[in-house]
Amino acid sequence: MLYLWLKFIHVVSSTILFGTGIGTASNLFLAHRTRDVYIIATTARYVVFADWIFTTTSGIIQPITGLGLVYLGGYSLSSFWIWGSIIGYLVAACCWFPVVYLQLKLRDMAIAAHQSNTALPPLYFRYFRYWFCLGWPAFISLIMVFYLMTNKPM
């Protein structure tokens, strides 16, 4: 019974992690494309908030429930699919930490530009490119984790 509850929490939190990531990324990307400083500033505020509340929480829950499932399910930690999932998760996390930093900076620059009624600084556009580029390996690695978790290849 504990295994099934842990599995349920693991699946729901993975859905929140992935869904929030896709949702916030697409919202910030679309706001950026408008070039409207007010829209960018407002969207960036909500993106940072959603990532802190949902992505951080589910990002903490994932390894705890995952390791619990490995233990309760009697799986070997040396299994390819488990190691592949752990590595994929770590790749996503290593991309996510700088993404959070960049989102904070993007938000702050957009708010400052909006409040002073000025254009976004060149640094904003450089940080946005970094943010965009870091999103791809995180996205792809989480897709790989989903594949490994659902198919459990040997």
- The pLDDT tens digits of the residues spanning 54-93 come to 999 999 999 999 999 999 999 999 999 999 999 999 999 9
pLDDT, one tens digit per residue, over 12-36 is 999 999 999 999 999 999 999 999 9
SS3 category, 121:
coil
pLDDT at 102: 98
pLDDT at 121: 98
Residue 134, both tokens: 């870091």
The mean pLDDT value for 99-122 works out to: 98
Give buried/exposed letters for 105-143 (b at 16+ CB in 10 A, else e): bbbebbbebbeeeeebeeebeebbeebeebbeebbebbe
The mean pLDDT value for 103-130 works out to: 98
Q: What percent of the chain has pLDDT over 90?
A: 99
pLDDT at 154: 82
SS3 category, 36:
coil
Backbone conformation region of residue 152, classed left if phi is above 0, alpha if psi is from -120 to 50, else beta: left
The band of 140, judged by pLDDT with boundaries at 50, 70 and 90, is very high
Average pLDDT, the chain: 96
pLDDT, one tens digit per residue, over 30-54 is 999 999 999 999 999 999 999 999 9
Kindly tell me if the per-residue pLDDT of 99 is higher than 90: yes
* Cβ-based neighbours of 12, under 8 Å, separated by 6 or more: none
The mean pLDDT value for 140-149 works out to: 96
Q: What percent of the chain has pLDDT over 70?
A: 100
